[in-house]
Structure 1
Amino acid sequence: MSDRTIGYIVGSISSTSINRRLAKALERLAPAGTTLVEIPIKDLPFYSPDHDADYPAVATEFKNAIDEVDGVIIVTPEYSRSIPGVLKNALDWAARPWGQGSFDGKPTAVIGTSQGGIATAAAQQHLT
């Protein structure tokens, strides 16, 4: 089987995020030939269409990181029955400019955890 790299995006910027811990566990459990790498979102500025003609370097790096991996896992907490704002912001950067979406044709999975009974079911549904 050929080597592959899977990027993961943690939808929380908290240093104590249990979803970051989940992502780190996925790294350790990855099968032979698969490397998981984080695609960070914490330094992305707020998205605005004003940037579409001239993306900031950090947003270009973010989009390039998605382009360079074979697939993406979005590891999301659930905030107020949806995805965190920082994750939505990152997805907006990835989807723009129009016609240049980073996730087009990219295999993508969604996972998440929380201490609640239904975990991150609502947040995951919003991402599918």
Structure 2
Amino acid sequence: MIPWNLLDLDHALRASWAADTCSPDDQPEWQPSNPAWGHCDITALIVHDVLGGDLMRGEVHVDGDQRGFHWWNRLSSGVELDLTREQFQRGQRVTAACVVERPPGPLRRWDEYLLLRRRVIEHLGHLPEPAI
């Protein structure tokens, strides 16, 4: 196995995001110019697979109205790592951050998660088994 670093993981995820792995709720607004859009949940889960730590979730607000949730990671060191934060380009605010338990078993977006994992593995060569 060839060693890789966090930058390699970041590049592999970014190269793997596409319309077919975007959340169905966000797919109508997904564009190649904003590839992180709709990928926060499954990206955070893959980072969790690799680095462990906590899963974080916050509420996304636009003009005072909640428009969904945003997911990211808090590593065991306490550092928060958000590889999809740049998706918010229209004044969205993320509030009410909290730690959430990893959903047990197959996820709501299991097929998209597995597809994104396969693409990341194509770039990196290996990932730890999912923490399900």
TM-score in terms of structure 1 length: 0.29
TM-score in terms of structure 2 length: 0.29
